[in-house]
């Protein structure tokens, strides 16, 4: 929804994210900064600020727990980014990991040929300036660098474009060291690098990003069953993550979209402000990867099924491949809302008296509705005044919450403005310490989404917050 339209029309009390607003909030509140900004910025690279790194860590911990702790048959791995260059010959990346590229001879812009209007491409017409386009050529997306002291090409090495290959080359090590029996999986989170031609839409497509991948090794013939199983599991993951499921959909790859290794593939797509786009992929990679690594390394990568007369086979692989940084963008977009606070106050929530903010008919707040488990700050403690011992009391209360929750403390400015600041970073709970606290030990707990406030004894804060987190449902 275009926010200016709905706000201008004066009928909607809520508006959603546009990419410009997300980028602006991300910078303003310390989620994501442009890389090397003081030098004019580095295209395709972004830095995660204090709020961004917390959010990223929470998403990756959530994924890790789902995929390892809650699945007895999955173990973890942290493989090196730099791998033997033969890896990428075996995987097919040297030959096939390319985008079709065209340049405009006039405005010098570079485009992916498959993203240009086919009529314009056929006429070799630049979509930006109408100038003449070059012939389409293949452009390999892998970053090359050099290892060792001599820069004569003999030390050619690639920055990995996916984390998956680190899992395949370690599969035998893990079977042997951890006595894994098929079916089993290996999960990994780590950086990947791609020399993307078009890096627009903020952190959606970048040259440096993080992936969360899991490779599940199965007996040939069981692959379709496990493929369906993992599709269901990955859908359920997003339900648990707390995002709006109506914003998600499946997209099955057609024959011309399938990667060179895939027998079947589905993407989970999310409706970003720029439309439905891939969030993660579930792929049936067959035995392509292990067969190729066996061929290129000369090592026997067959699995020996000791429970089945030592039957030997090269396992099939079902892959679930998600981008961590792309998921963070999805979580930000999904959480973002501008909301008419006056309408809410009229409905009986926070009033101008309770938070000190004005509630005129045009009073809007920007709020991030993160699930409390993902929010960078879980609870902010705010003394109503700095004086009369309230600040010290609030600091003590914060201290008592630190072991269990990510906390913040803010004593500057009107209380209403402090609530709004916490809304903008998605803090689900604010605890306000006031004069009554000094008398009877009670504090106000203010809930971000409903803006409702309840009074509880500070001794009950931990249990109150834990229950609210357990029972959290976005409305």
Query: Distance (Å, rounded) from C-alpha 330 to C-alpha 73?
Result: 28
Query: Distance (Å, rounded) from C-alpha 162 to C-alpha 160?
Result: 5
Nearer to ligand GAP, 196 or 424 (CB): 196
Query: Is the Cα dihedral 389, 395, 401, 406 positive or negative?
Result: positive
Nearer to ligand GAP, 267 or 339 (CB): 267
391 CB-near residues (< 8 Å, 6+ apart) = 383, 385, 411
Question: Smallest gap, in angstroms, from Cβ of residue 128 to ligand GAP?
Answer: 22
Nearer to ligand GAP, 319 or 339 (CB): 319
Query: Distance (Å, rounded) from C-alpha 324 to C-alpha 201?
Result: 16
DSSP 3-state of 123: coil
40 phi-psi bin (left φ>0, alpha ψ -120 to 50, beta other): left
Strand ranges (E), 224-352: 248-252, 264-272, 275-284, 303-305, 311-313, 316-323, 336-340
Pairing of strands 156-158, 184-193: unpaired
- Residue of closest CB approach to ligand GAP: 323
Nearer to ligand GAP, 57 or 201 (CB): 201
Query: Is the Cα dihedral 223, 228, 231, 236 positive or negative?
Result: negative
Question: Smallest gap, in angstroms, from Cβ of residue 263 to ligand GAP?
Answer: 14
Other CB atoms within a 10 A radius of the CB of residue 12 amount to 17
Q: Which two tokens stand for residue 305?
A: 């099924």
Question: Smallest gap, in angstroms, from Cβ of residue 62 to ligand GAP?
Answer: 16
Other CB atoms within a 10 A radius of the CB of residue 173 amount to 10
* Cβ atoms 317, 263 nearer than 8 A: no
Pairing of strands 156-158, 144-146: antiparallel
Nearer to ligand GAP, 283 or 448 (CB): 283
Other CB atoms within a 10 A radius of the CB of residue 446 amount to 26
Question: Smallest gap, in angstroms, from Cβ of residue 342 to ligand GAP?
Answer: 39
Query: Distance (Å, rounded) from C-alpha 192 to C-alpha 141?
Result: 11
Question: Smallest gap, in angstroms, from Cβ of residue 366 to ligand GAP?
Answer: 25
Nearer to ligand GAP, 97 or 336 (CB): 97
Query: Distance (Å, rounded) from C-alpha 122 to C-alpha 143?
Result: 30
Question: Smallest gap, in angstroms, from Cβ of residue 5 to ligand GAP?
Answer: 30
Question: Smallest gap, in angstroms, from Cβ of residue 7 to ligand GAP?
Answer: 31
Question: Smallest gap, in angstroms, from Cβ of residue 423 to ligand GAP?
Answer: 28
Least Cα distance to 134 among 124, 149, 143, 144 occurs for 124
Nearer to ligand GAP, 271 or 280 (CB): 280
Q: In what order do the strands lie in the sheet with 14-15?
A: 14-15, 336-340, 364-368
Question: Smallest gap, in angstroms, from Cβ of residue 326 to ligand GAP?
Answer: 4
Which residues form the interface with ligand GAP (CB under 6 A)? 162, 164, 194, 196, 205-206, 209, 211, 213, 278-281, 319, 321-323, 325-326
Nearer to ligand GAP, 46 or 429 (CB): 46
Question: Smallest gap, in angstroms, from Cβ of residue 318 to ligand GAP?
Answer: 12
- The residue with tokens 């024959």 is 255
Question: Smallest gap, in angstroms, from Cβ of residue 424 to ligand GAP?
Answer: 25
Nearer to ligand GAP, 167 or 431 (CB): 167
Nearer to ligand GAP, 266 or 405 (CB): 266
Nearer to ligand GAP, 322 or 390 (CB): 322
- DSSP of 176-208: HHHT--SSEEEEEEEEEE---S---TTTTS-SE
């Amino acid at each position: 929804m275009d926010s200016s339209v709905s706000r201008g029309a004066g009928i909607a009390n809520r508006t959603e994210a546009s990419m410009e607003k997300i980028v602006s909030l991300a910078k303003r509140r310390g989620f994501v900064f442009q890389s090397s900004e003081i030098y004019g910025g580095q295209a395709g690279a972004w830095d995660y600020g204090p709020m961004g790194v917390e959010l990223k860590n929470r998403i990756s911990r959530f994924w890790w727990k789902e995929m390892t702790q809650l699945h007895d048959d999955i173990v973890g791995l942290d493989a090196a980014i730099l791998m033997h260059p033969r890896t990428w010959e075996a995987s097919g990346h040297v030959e096939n990991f390319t985008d079709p590229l065209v340049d405009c001879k006039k405005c010098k812009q570079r485009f992916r040929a498959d993203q240009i209007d086919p009529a314009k491409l056929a006429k070799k017409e630049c979509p930006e300036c109408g100038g003449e386009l070059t012939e389409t050529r293949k452009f390999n997306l892998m970053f090359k660098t050099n290892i060792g002291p001599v820069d004569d090409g003999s030390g050619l090495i690639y920055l990995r474009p996916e984390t998956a290959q680190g899992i395949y080359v370690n599969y035998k090590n893990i079977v042997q060291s951890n006595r894994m029996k098929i079916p089993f999986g290996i999960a990994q989170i780590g950086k990947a690098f791609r020399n993307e031609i078009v890096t627009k839409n903020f952190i959606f497509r970048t040259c440096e990003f993080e992936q969360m991948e899991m490779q599940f090794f199965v007996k040939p013939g069981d692959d379709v069953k496990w493929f369906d199983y993992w599709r269901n599991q990955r859908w359920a993951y997003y339900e648990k993550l707390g995002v709006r499921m109506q914003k998600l959909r499946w997209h099955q790859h057609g024959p011309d979209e399938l990667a060179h290794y895939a027998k079947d593939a589905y993407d989970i797509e999310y409706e970003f402000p720029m439309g439905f786009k891939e969030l993660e992929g579930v792929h049936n990679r067959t035995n392509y990867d292990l067969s190729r690594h066996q061929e290129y390394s000369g090592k026997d990568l067959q699995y020996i099924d000791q429970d089945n007369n030592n039957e030997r086979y090269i396992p099939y692989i079902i892959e679930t491949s998600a981008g961590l940084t792309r998921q963070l963008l999805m979580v930000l977009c999904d959480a973002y809302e501008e909301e008419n606070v006056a309408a809410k106050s009229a409905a009986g929530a926070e009033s101008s008296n309770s938070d000190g903010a004005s509630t005129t008919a045009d009073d809007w707040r920007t709020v991030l509705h993160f699930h409390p488990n993902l929010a960078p700050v879980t609870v902010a403690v705010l003394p109503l005044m700095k004086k009369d011992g309230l600040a010290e009391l609030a600091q003590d209360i914060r201290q008592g919450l630190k072991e269990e929750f990510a906390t913040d403390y803010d004593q500057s400015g009107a209380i209403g403005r402090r609530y709004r600041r916490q809304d903008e970073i998605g803090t689900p709970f604010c605890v306000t310490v006031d004069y009554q606290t000094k008398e009877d030990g009670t504090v106000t707990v203010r809930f971000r989404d409903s803006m409702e406030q309840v009074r509880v004894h500070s001794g009950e804060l931990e249990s109150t917050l834990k229950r609210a987190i357990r029972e959290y449902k976005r409305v």
